[in-house]
């Protein structure tokens, strides 16, 4: 969003109004966990572990606060977490396997998809296809675009209409696609960055 605000403000009306998975989770935890844990919202501290440093800025946006408190309090990059693990002397090969906690469990397959590249697109498509056609969406096969690293696309028929989808990895590739969209050289119905 920040990138579009700075470099492509004319494309802002086309951005989804949905929060990112990080912000959705932070908001839900702060709303649902107090009752489940027997505490107050102000006593919760949500830490997100993400591969992208842009998530740190995202978590600080004023629209992702409730009564002056952020939905996500801190963001660690995966590299920062790895450094902390190493500094603490934790050796994974010496740890005993155990299951992780799932305080909210899995409620839909779409929720599991969100953590994967292209997962938001697939989750949206599954929901839309079921609502429009009443059918369950088969796996969407995104193909790498020849000569364009970091760009995968697919065309899918939904209710007799073709939907052209793109999954873009990284802001450098997002810039290339945004320039193509602006110039009218490509027309996607949905782009996930």
Of residues 135 and 60, more confidence is placed in 60
pLDDT beyond 70 at 115: no
Please report the pLDDT score of residue 111 as a whole number. 54
pLDDT beyond 80 at 118: no
How many other β-carbons are positioned within 10 Å of the β-carbon of residue 44?
Answer: 17
Please report the pLDDT score of residue 5 as a whole number. 92
Domains of the chain: residue spans and CATH: 1-105 (3.40.50.1780), 109-193 (3.40.950.10)
* Contact indicator for 6, 56 with CB cutoff of 8 Å: no
* Contact indicator for 1, 15 with CB cutoff of 8 Å: yes
- pLDDT tens, residue by residue, 164-177: 999 998 888 999 99
| Strand-strand pairing, 161-168 and 190-192 | parallel
pLDDT beyond 90 at 122: no
Of residues 193 and 75, more confidence is placed in 75
Q: Of 4-18, 26-40, 125-139, 163-177, where does mean pLDDT reach its minimum? A: 125-139
* The pTM of the whole model exceeds 0.85: no
Please report the pLDDT score of residue 148 as a whole number. 67
How many other β-carbons are positioned within 10 Å of the β-carbon of residue 108?
Answer: 10
């Amino acid at each position: 969003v920040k990138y579009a605000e700075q470099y492509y403000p004319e494309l802002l009306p086309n951005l989804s109004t949905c929060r990112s998975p990080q912000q959705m989770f932070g908001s839900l935890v702060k709303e649902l966990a107090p009752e489940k844990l027997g505490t107050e919202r102000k006593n919760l501290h949500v830490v997100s572990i993400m591969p992208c440093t842009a998530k740190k800025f995202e978590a600080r946006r004023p629209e992702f606060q409730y009564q002056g408190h952020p939905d996500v309090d801190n963001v660690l990059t995966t590299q920062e977490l790895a450094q902390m693990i190493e500094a603490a002397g934790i050796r994974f090969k010496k740890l005993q396997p155990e299951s992780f906690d799932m305080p909210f469990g899995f409620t839909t397959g779409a929720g599991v998809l969100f953590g994967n590249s292209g997962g938001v697109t697939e989750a949206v498509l599954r929901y839309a296809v079921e609502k429009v056609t009443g059918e369950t969406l088969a796996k969407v096969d995104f193909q790498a675009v020849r000569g364009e690293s970091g760009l995968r696309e697919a065309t899918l028929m939904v209710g007799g209409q073709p939907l052209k989808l793109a999954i873009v990895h990284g802001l450098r590739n997002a810039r290339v696609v945004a320039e193509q969209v602006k110039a009218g050289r490509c027309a996607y119905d949905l782009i996930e960055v």
